[in-house]
Amino acid sequence: MDILQTVCVPVRSQLRCVLFDLDGTLLDIDGEQFLDDYVMAFAQYFSHWGDAATFQHVVMAASVPIFHDHPDLTNGEVFRRHLARHLDVSEDVVAREMARLHRETLPSLPIPRAPVAAARPCVEAAMEQGYRVAVATTPIYPPDAIALRLRWAGLDDIPWSLITHSENMHACKPDVAYYREVAELVGCSPEQCLMIGDDRLQDMPAAKCGMFVYWTRAKADTGDIWGGPLAHLTRFFQG
- The full set of domain ranges for the chain reads 3-30+114-238, 31-108
Measure the CA–CA gap between 16 and 181, rounded to whole angstroms: 16
pLDDT greater than 70 at residue 3: no
Name the more confident of 222 and 146.
Answer: 146
Query: For 147-170, what is the mean pLDDT?
Result: 97
- The pLDDT value recorded for residue 183 is 98
Measure the CA–CA gap between 38 and 191, rounded to whole angstroms: 35
- The pLDDT value recorded for residue 211 is 96
Which H, E and C letters describe the chain, residue by residue?
Answer: CCHHHCCCCCCHHHCCEEEECCECCCEEECHHHHHHHHHHHHHHHHCCCCCHHHHHHHHHHHHHHHHCCCCCCCHHHHHHHHHHHHHCCCHHHHHHHHHHHHHHHHHHCCCCEEECCCHHHHHHHHHHCCCEEEECCCCCCCHHHHHHHHHHCCCCCCCCCEECCCCCCCCCCCCHHHHHHHHHHHCCCHHHEEEEECCHHHHHHHHHHCCEEEECCCCCCCCCCCECCHHHHHHHHHC
- The pLDDT value recorded for residue 4 is 53
- The pLDDT value recorded for residue 53 is 86
Measure the CA–CA gap between 42 and 230, rounded to whole angstroms: 34
Domain at 3-30+114-238, CATH homologous superfamily: HAD superfamily/HAD-like (3.40.50.1000)
- The pLDDT value recorded for residue 148 is 95
Name the more confident of 215 and 52.
Answer: 215
- The pLDDT value recorded for residue 1 is 36
One-letter amino acid of 89: V
Measure the CA–CA gap between 120 and 156, rounded to whole angstroms: 11
- The pLDDT value recorded for residue 222 is 78
pTM for the whole structure: 0.94
